[in-house]
Amino acid sequence: MSLANVGRRLSVLAGGQMGELASALGRGSGQTWSSCKASDSASAARTEMLRLMRRAAERFTAAQTEEELYRALLELVREATGAGAGAVHRRDGETLVPSAHYGGGWLRESHEVGDASLPGLATQRHCPIRVVRGGMAQRGWLTSAEDDDSSALSMPVDLDRDRQLIISLLGGGTGLPGTPRGEFTPGDIELVEALAVQMGPHLRRLETERLASVGQLAGSMVHDFKNSVLIIRGAAELCGRVAPETQRFVDLITTESDRMVEMMQELLDFARGNRTLKVQSVSLRRFLAEVAEAHRAVLERAQIELLLDIQAESAAFDPLQVDRALSNLIANARDAMPEGGTLTLRAASDAQFVYLSVQDTGVGMSPEVRKRLFEPFFTEGKVKGTGLGTAIVQRVAEGHGGQVEVLTAEGQGTTMTVCLPLRAN
Ligand code: ADP
Ligand code: MG
């Protein structure tokens, strides 16, 4: 949710009343900083706000782990709002996983979207919820005797397309000594959201750093593993020739070895990251015939009929990279057809793009899988998935200035298309 939306989507649950907020939003966070004299309170509040933001930048930059980031966020939020207890939950599917907290017993537990807890409700409604004292028990929501006298605030923050945090606070208000704790203000909501949004890029930074180190390690190991597996595979084939009665087991070794090599190749491709493109003019007929040939044996064993449909002559791209992309799509298509089926490898073009697609008659994707398809390490319904295939496909397509299109229907099949500009840039 963007900052601009906060005011519109805010729901205040105070004895069943909604409202009073639009005007308050304009005032910023004056109440939070009300220790200053009225005359210069506005400028003092601004200075205070800038200090807070600067401190936030420093704290977030210094954080080395996700946990440290969440903790820093909560400490800053505590400072800004005076909340007596707080928690950050990370949304993982329908579960809200506690990631940092201070105080507040039930608040630090894990919750579900739409359950009777405040974080659960705020996530379901996808808007901040403020509750006045006693409001939670009155509504039959999860609370505890000590907290029920608190005001509360729970708000979901979308950091990016598939990352959502839920920040929940208890006992907010002025935070001034001797003053009774008041309710959370719209200004508090804005401030919390601003802090959380500022944290987002740092979360991504940590993820990138982690992936880079995993990638380096994987890259160096995978080479050696792959060679060993190929030697085992070769030896098994020889056994089959020497003792034909063992063929059944040899086939098993062969299939599983191929799988392992495929997984390692995916890991290696992913770890290598973006490489410089070696674009050349490619005859699509010959190129796709070669790609098909490389997979024919495996597909035959899986009872999959392979069809070629070539309606374009040539294009300019990096054949090695596009081969990796198509191989990943073919492997996914094969996995989607455990009972066999038809796989069509197709080339078409228009004035701007060449379209290379892999169509299967397999299980198709659920909306959830479709949504997360390109996420690195996302794999669903496979024992041996790396979750890297589609991420590699996307990188290859985008590296060429193109994109990947997905057409899928559950129970009917999937067509994945790599669209490449005719003139790769
Ligand atoms: P992996 O194949 O290692 O699981 P991918 O990134 O290649 O990882 O694919 C991610 C997930 O997307 C797969 O686990 C699968 O659930 C789904 N998927 C990909 N391609 C297809 C397809 N052609 N049909 C059905 N589901 C697919
Ligand atoms: Mg795959």
Query: Is 90 exceeded by the pLDDT of residue 134?
Result: no
Q: How many domains is the chain built from? A: 3
- Confirm whether 345 is domain-assigned: yes
Look at residue 260 in the predicted model and tell me its pLDDT: 86
Q: How far is the CA of 134 from the centre of ligand 1 (A)?
A: 48
Look at residue 83 in the predicted model and tell me its pLDDT: 87
For the chain, report the end-to-end CA distance as a whole number of angstroms: 35
Q: How far is the CA of 98 from the centre of ligand 2 (A)?
A: 31
For residues 266 and 284, membership in a common domain is answered with no
Q: Is there an atom of ligand 1 within 6 Å of 390 CB?
A: yes
Least confident of 50-54, 128-132, 266-270, 310-314: 266-270
Look at residue 397 in the predicted model and tell me its pLDDT: 95
Look at residue 383 in the predicted model and tell me its pLDDT: 81
| Cβ density class 173-212: b for 16+ within 10 Å, e for less | bbbeeeeebbbbbbbbbbbbbbbbebbbebbeebeeeebe
Each residue's pLDDT tens digit, 323-357: 999 999 999 999 999 999 999 999 999 999 999 99
Ligand 1, pocket-test mutation among 260, 326, 332, most atoms within 8 A of CB: 332
- Nearest-CA residue for ligand 1 atom 8 is 387
For residues 416 and 335, membership in a common domain is answered with yes
**pLDDT classification of 145: cutoffs 50, 70, 90:** low
Look at residue 13 in the predicted model and tell me its pLDDT: 41
Q: How far apart are CA 123 and CA 157, in angstroms?
A: 9
pTM: 0.55
Residue with tokens 């105080």: 103
Q: How far is the CA of 167 from the centre of ligand 2 (A)?
A: 35
Q: Is there an atom of ligand 1 within 6 Å of 379 CB?
A: yes
For residues 248 and 163, membership in a common domain is answered with no
For residues 119 and 216, membership in a common domain is answered with no
Find the ligand nearest to 334 CA: 1
Q: How far is the CA of 113 from the centre of ligand 2 (A)?
A: 30
- Confirm whether 289 is domain-assigned: yes
- Nearest-CA residue for ligand 1 atom 19 is 332
SS (H, E, C) the chain: CCHHHHHHHCEEEECCECCCHHHHHHCCCHHHHCCCCCCCHHHHHHHHHHHHHHHHHHHHHHCCCHHHHHHHHHHHHHHHHCCCEEEEEEEECCEEEEEEEECCCHHHCCEECCCCCHHHHHHHHCCCEEECCCHHHHCCCCCCCCCCCCCEEEEEEEEECCEEEEEEEECCCCCCCCCCCCCCCHHHHHHHHHHHHHHHHHHHHHHHHHHHHHHHHHHHHHHHHHHHHHHHHHHHHHHHHHCHHHHHHHHHHHHHHHHHHHHHHHHHHHHHCCCCCCCEEEEHHHHHHHHHHHHHHHHHHCCEEEEEEECCCEEEECHHHHHHHHHHHHHHHHHCCCCCEEEEEEEEECCCEEEEEEEECCCCCCHHHHHHCCCCCCCCCCCCCCCCHHHHHHHHHHHCCCEEEEEEECCCEEEEEEEEECCCC
- Confirm whether 115 is domain-assigned: yes
For residues 109 and 215, membership in a common domain is answered with no
Phi then psi dihedrals of residue 35, to 5 deg: -75, -10
Residue 155's DSSP bridge partners are: 167
Look at residue 147 in the predicted model and tell me its pLDDT: 66
Look at residue 27 in the predicted model and tell me its pLDDT: 37
Q: Is there an atom of ligand 1 within 6 Å of 415 CB?
A: no
Query: Is 70 exceeded by the pLDDT of residue 424?
Result: no
Mean pLDDT of the chain: 83
Q: How far is the CA of 17 from the centre of ligand 2 (A)?
A: 51
Atom of ligand 1 nearest to the CA of 384: 3
Single residue among 272, 289, 324 that ends a domain in this structure: 272
- Nearest-CA residue for ligand 1 atom 7 is 389
Ligand 1, pocket-test mutation among 269, 379, 410, most atoms within 8 A of CB: 379
Residue 376's DSSP bridge partners are: none
Listed ranges 204-208, 313-317, 343-347; the one with the highest mean pLDDT: 343-347
Nearest alpha carbon to residue 167 among 311, 271, 69: 69
For residues 292 and 351, membership in a common domain is answered with yes
For residues 309 and 334, membership in a common domain is answered with yes
Looking at the chain, the whole-number percentage of residues with pLDDT higher than 70 is: 84
Look at residue 378 in the predicted model and tell me its pLDDT: 93
Look at residue 36 in the predicted model and tell me its pLDDT: 46
- 121: amino acid identity, one letter: L
Phi then psi dihedrals of residue 409, to 5 deg: -140, 125
Single residue among 108, 143, 171 that ends a domain in this structure: 171
Look at residue 109 in the predicted model and tell me its pLDDT: 87
Q: Is there an atom of ligand 1 within 6 Å of 381 CB?
A: yes
Query: Is 90 exceeded by the pLDDT of residue 143?
Result: no
Query: Is 60 exceeded by the pLDDT of residue 29?
Result: no
Query: Is 90 exceeded by the pLDDT of residue 177?
Result: no
Find the ligand nearest to 412 CA: 1
Query: Is 50 exceeded by the pLDDT of residue 35?
Result: no
- Nearest-CA residue for ligand 1 atom 18 is 332
Residue range 350-366: average pLDDT?
96
Contact 356, 322 (CB under 8 A): yes
Each residue's pLDDT tens digit, 215-262: 777 777 877 888 889 999 999 999 999 999 999 999 989 988 988 888
Q: Which residues are placed with Cβ below 5 angstroms of ligand 2, an ion?
A: 332, 389
**pLDDT classification of 274: cutoffs 50, 70, 90:** low
Query: Is 80 exceeded by the pLDDT of residue 174?
Result: no
- Nearest-CA residue for ligand 1 atom 15 is 380
Residue range 90-94: average pLDDT?
91
- Confirm whether 241 is domain-assigned: yes
- Nearest-CA residue for ligand 1 atom 25 is 364
Between 50 and 333, the more confident residue is 333
For residues 94 and 145, membership in a common domain is answered with yes
Q: What is the CATH number of the domain that holds 95?
A: 3.30.450.40
Look at residue 305 in the predicted model and tell me its pLDDT: 97
Find the ligand nearest to 378 CA: 1
Looking at the chain, the whole-number percentage of residues with pLDDT higher than 90 is: 52
Between 224 and 50, the more confident residue is 50
Look at residue 104 in the predicted model and tell me its pLDDT: 67
Q: Is there an atom of ligand 1 within 6 Å of 402 CB?
A: no
Residue range 267-292: average pLDDT?
86
Look at residue 39 in the predicted model and tell me its pLDDT: 56
For residues 103 and 232, membership in a common domain is answered with no
**pLDDT classification of 10: cutoffs 50, 70, 90:** very low
Query: Is 90 exceeded by the pLDDT of residue 146?
Result: no
Least confident of 163-167, 307-311, 358-362: 163-167
**pLDDT classification of 1: cutoffs 50, 70, 90:** very low
Look at residue 25 in the predicted model and tell me its pLDDT: 35
Q: Is there an atom of ligand 1 within 6 Å of 417 CB?
A: no
For residues 334 and 414, membership in a common domain is answered with yes
Between 147 and 238, the more confident residue is 238
Atom of ligand 1 nearest to the CA of 374: 6
Q: What is the CATH number of the domain that holds 288?
A: 3.30.565.10
Query: Is 60 exceeded by the pLDDT of residue 399?
Result: yes
Domain residue limits at 258: 211-272
Atom of ligand 1 nearest to the CA of 389: 7
Look at residue 278 in the predicted model and tell me its pLDDT: 85
Look at residue 421 in the predicted model and tell me its pLDDT: 94
Look at residue 16 in the predicted model and tell me its pLDDT: 33
Residue range 132-156: average pLDDT?
75
Find the ligand nearest to 333 CA: 1
